[in-house]
Amino acid sequence: MSPQQGRSSSTMKQPLGRVVVLIPTYNEKDSLPGVVARVRAAQPQVDILVLDDNSPDGTGALADELASSDPQVRVLHRAGKQGLGPAYLAGFAWAAAEGYDAVVEMDADGSHLPEQLGTLLAAAEEAELVIGSRWVPGGATHNWPRSRDLLSRGANTYTRAAVGIPVRDATAGYRVYRLDALRQMDLDGVASQGYCFQVDLTLRAVDRGLRVVEVPIDFVEREVGTSKMDRRIVQEALGRVTLWGISRRGAQVGAAARRAVGRIGSGGTWRELTD
pLDDT tens-digit series, residues 103-138: 999 999 999 999 999 999 999 999 999 999 999 999
Q: Is the pLDDT of residue 222 over 50?
A: yes
Q: Which of 67, 30, 65, 34 is nearest to 49 (CA)?
A: 67
What does residue 148 show for φ and ψ, rounded to 5 degrees? -70, -40
pLDDT confidence of residue 4: 54
Q: Is the pLDDT of residue 196 over 80?
A: yes
CB atoms within 10 A of CB 201: 25
Read off the pLDDT of residues 84-104 as tens digits, 9 standing for 90 and up: 999 999 999 999 999 999 999
Q: How far apart are CA 198 and CA 194, in angstroms?
A: 8
Read off the pLDDT of residues 37-79 as tens digits, 9 standing for 90 and up: 999 999 999 999 999 999 999 999 999 999 999 999 999 999 9
Which residue has better confidence, 156 or 268? 156
Q: Is the pLDDT of residue 267 over 50?
A: yes
Q: Model confidence at 245, in pLDDT bands (50, 70, 90)?
A: confident
Q: What is the mean pLDDT of residues 181-195?
A: 89
Helix or strand or coil: residue 57? Answer: coil
Q: Is the pLDDT of residue 227 over 80?
A: no
Burial of 3 by CB count in 10 Å (0-12 exposed, 13-18 middle, 19+ buried)?
exposed
pLDDT confidence of residue 272: 47
Q: Is the pLDDT of residue 191 over 60?
A: yes
pLDDT confidence of residue 148: 87
Q: Model confidence at 241, in pLDDT bands (50, 70, 90)?
A: confident
What does residue 198 show for φ and ψ, rounded to 5 degrees? -65, -40
Q: Which of 68, 70, 74, 82 is nearest to 22 (CA)?
A: 74
pLDDT confidence of residue 115: 98
Read off the pLDDT of residues 14-45 as tens digits, 9 standing for 90 and up: 999 999 999 999 999 999 999 999 999 999 99
DSSP H or E run through 158: helix 146-163
Which domains does the chain possess? Answer: 8-229 (3.90.550.10)
8 Å CB contact between 56 and 29: no
pLDDT confidence of residue 7: 47
Read off the pLDDT of residues 133-166 as tens digits, 9 standing for 90 and up: 999 999 999 999 898 899 889 988 988 899 999 9
Mean predicted lDDT score pLDDT of the chain? 87
pTM over 0.85: no
